[in-house]
């Protein structure tokens, strides 16, 4: 499943989501950019021998607005990676 240009790799059964971009490099650099942005935090992991971004949504206080901000941070982080390819 792909949403906002990210591939959702696992069946979301609880609060853990694994996503990737189109390439391992894009996934790793996007994760780095997300973490550096400070907007939200997620970790990296390996899924089927490929790097992934591991998202955990676990607070009762998380709102739809928080999710929207996090998705925007993901998109911005991926766009930052693509911008570096053009220079």
- pLDDT, one tens digit per residue, over 15-29 is 889 999 999 999 999
Taking residue 27's Cβ as centre, other Cβ atoms within 10 Å add up to 22
Domain regions of the chain by residue span? 2-85
Give backbone dihedrals phi and psi of 86, rounded to 5 degrees, phi first: -85, -10
> Per-residue confidence at 75, pLDDT binned at 50, 70, 90?
very high
Domain 2-85: which CATH class? alpha beta
Token pair belonging to 8: 């959702």
Whether the Cβ atoms of residue 8 and residue 2 lie closer than 8 Å to each other: yes
Nearest to 7, CA basis, from 83, 48, 15, 17: 17
What's 11's DSSP letter?
A: -
Examine the pLDDT at 1 and tell me if it is beyond 60. Answer: no
């Amino acid at each position: 499943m792909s949403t906002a240009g990210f591939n959702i790799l696992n069946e979301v059964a609880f609060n853990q989501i694994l996503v990737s971009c189109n390439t391992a490099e894009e996934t790793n650099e996007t994760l780095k950019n997300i973490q550096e942005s400070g907007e939200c935090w997620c970790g990296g992991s390996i899924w089927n021998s490929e790097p992934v971004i591991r998202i955990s949504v676990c607070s009762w206080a998380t709102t739809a607005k928080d999710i929207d901000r996090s998705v925007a941070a993901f998109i911005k982080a991926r766009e930052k990676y693509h911008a570096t390819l053009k220079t």
